[in-house]
Chains A and B, each alone.
Chain A
């Protein structure tokens, strides 16, 4: 399959629609983390629009690829993407963070088709993904062997890589050459209380993963063709892969881009209108 097979228009549409939905969700809920959603939006559109082997109408299909949003605070963009792909009704998005509704502010798996794992505490997704990858590599009565093992994709934030448990999993996955595990770091360079480079500089970031035995692919996380091509390269190299996706926090709305403020702030009605106009233009 070549680059020409990548449905770029469809992916771009999915990313744009998901951004618009997520923006309205966080505005309605007066919630945070829209900047973290927007840096991840294009990668999620690539995954759900092209890369993942999934069946939205059969979310528990045993041979599906798994996706874990380890940076669970970007739940709004995941929910929006899943709804747009038909995992659950779009109307559910209106109840984001609302009393008694299924979609919580951090990713909730219970009762939400398509969300594989509940997350929100950083550093949990990669170990769980490693366990899933191990479980899916093995055949038993309940999971008959398939020709192509399902893959497990785990999206981490850059700040999340401060957590030691990330590196515990990275160490073991590399040493055991778990090649159906793919990590994706949404490297937007801003973490909770400042710039990554000022808090704990991760660089040389790729070299760290490579030293742990991972295939490292660096990519512009907003270039759909490049992300899809990179994810196709991932896996099959006899070792786990990490996509270091260089992204921009708040990508898509100029006043949000590369601003720490939009890790926290919820858009006002005026800001919402302006942002939607920009996203839809």
Chain B
């Protein structure tokens, strides 16, 4: 039977909607390609705590007018990818290891693949990947089969290599460097600013090399993976968590375990299995207990159970529904044979709500879970398998609303630290004044976040006015600055109170780390207004404004003092000279002592 709707593969979906990922035109796509590859490399190095050495190169394939074909290559010293996973990891959209809840630069591991996809559709050239791994280097050229979401390997070479590890990805794509260069350079510079522990080199189409040297060997402590916070949950996530608890394992995965633990053959009858299992019930593992119980209650042997797929087991009617090997759908009554019946039921119904909450969520202990369940009027012993759809929705909404949960754990975040932000700003801007602050961890809607802010003033910063550098999870945000929450906060602060005016040479850096940065658009370029984030930004900025104010008034004070010393020695001699001429005197008056008096006189007045 043919289906009325044809499914599309994830890569097909992204191919059709590449604008969503920022690959809108040759200018933007060139920038996005660099960005995705660099972020991939940095994430990979961070994960293994390697000090990153990143080499970015963009070379034109021909002379002539933009847009034209460019080769973008980004090479790192990261952990690389084991040879067998390379094609899959880079050639298949949505294949990645980034579905977990911890801070990372990219989100789904599909950025690099998007870049490959874009290169392929604009130039029809394969991507070249060189991965150094275990003192060998593997070179692949491959293309994507967009319709089937799979890589097509064109060639594969294996060589002995001196490089201990690292990945070099080379994509040929249509780009417009003349238009994109400003953003790309800005991106590289800002990435260096927020990654002071990396060496970053950019080799541009005109063979100019821009180098950013690392200024510290310390890598920020890595984020720790954590369970979700109840306030950050949605209906779909909750349903998945419940189903994960309830998932029945497939027999083929545990076939050997069952055979070994029960010392059974696969064609032995259900009754024999029951006997064997009863003998050592308490010593059997969970998987084995479950498979045995199913076989016994459905009266089938292990060979047969391998050929069916359980659809559902309804504890209220004692019925099991399953699909047979030949695609028939059967519903049968379960036999009430103990201890198998009770065991199966407990698995099907799952945990009690109380234990489910404690096991699956961060910052939820028994007493918190109990209080919450009282608040939401659920029986704490209710089995999660018996929750109806409506109940799941009600539970989700209550979790989002309930205000007594402890704030989320911020260990899953990896900020840069005020110390390094400050050092990095110092080294990049060479300002007269610089100070940075990391605000305490906070949370919005169950997602933890940390705000870091730096302010630099004067020195080699010559441009008047506030220049804002925005970062989220250690990536620079370059577009739509005006709509960003940071600008909103800057505008709302009463700078006059700190005697800071908008024509001063000032640089402000904001860095927001979160497991979920609230971007306003898919393009991930600016951050939405969240009152909690706004609060931290505002307080951090006020703190730094105060520091700058103190610095400026101290400086002014010193200037006043030297001006005071100067003013008397500058004007009194003139006064003496003019009065001598006016009075027609033969010598200058003896005014010299007055210069000393003057300084003292003013000091007394202070």
Partners in one complex: no
